[in-house]
Amino acid sequence: MPTLLVVDLLAEREAFGEHGTAEIVRHFPGYEVLLWAPHTDEPREYPFGERIESPVEHDVLFITGSRRNVSMWEPWMDEVAELIRSSDVPIYGICFGHQLICSALGGKVIREEEGSNFVAPVHYLDGRIVDQLFTHQDHVVDAGEMEVVASSKHCEIVACKHPTRDISTVQYHPESVLSVLEHSLVCGDMTIEERMEFGEGIQTLDVAQSLFF
């Protein structure tokens, strides 16, 4: 059975951690799921996957979003960055994962004065225009080895693909589907006011459509 290693950086949150990660792993049927949360000693126990204390051999690497910031580097990020550089398996990253991958491969991330919390159009180089959900304050301003394949009005580097390695990343959150957003109200991950910033919360592309190309 192939193995999916999720660098689970929202492991302390119920909606965006547990439910968001469930939406991610739904797109990897038939995979054994390993959950690694290097940023916390108190991850939530999910009804799926196996928690591990350090990386083990895997067939796919997936790096989630996070409340932490690449622009405010922490020591545990070094180990994840080295894993990105040394890995020879497919790698996918969302939001923080997108930023960390670009940074690990020679790029640059900066922190803007204000956060971006909304659904906005994303323009792909192939002509597609899609609506996707953003919630971030750090921005990739130099993609390093990665090639930029999409942008938006508020963020120049929204999606990237590596020219020679099987790596793709997005700044937006395709895993934050409507069920995740609504559960965030139930469990307290978001207030009603915060939820309203995303309007109807309908996105064009899901996890697979965003990253598996």
CATH of residue 115's domain is: 3.40.50.880
CA distances to 26, 117, 120, 139, 166 from 110, rounded to whole Å, are 32, 17, 20, 5, 25
Q: Alpha carbon of 177 to those of 49, 125, 163: distances in Å?
A: 20, 24, 29
Give the predicted TM-score (pTM) of the model. 0.97
Q: What mean pLDDT do residues 51-65 have?
A: 97
Give residue 213's pLDDT. Answer: 80
**Percent of all residues in the chain with a pLDDT value above 70, rounded to a whole number:** 100
- The whole domain housing 164 covers 3-211
Average pLDDT over residues 109-128: 97
Average confidence (pLDDT) over 129-157: 98
* pLDDT for the residue 184: 95
Condensed to tens digits (0 to 9), the pLDDT of residues 190-206 reads 999 999 999 999 999 99
Tell me the pLDDT of the chain averaged across its residues.
97
Number of domains into which the chain is organized? 1
Residues taking part in catalysis: 95, 173, 175
The pLDDT tens digits of the residues spanning 10-32 come to 999 999 999 999 999 999 999 99
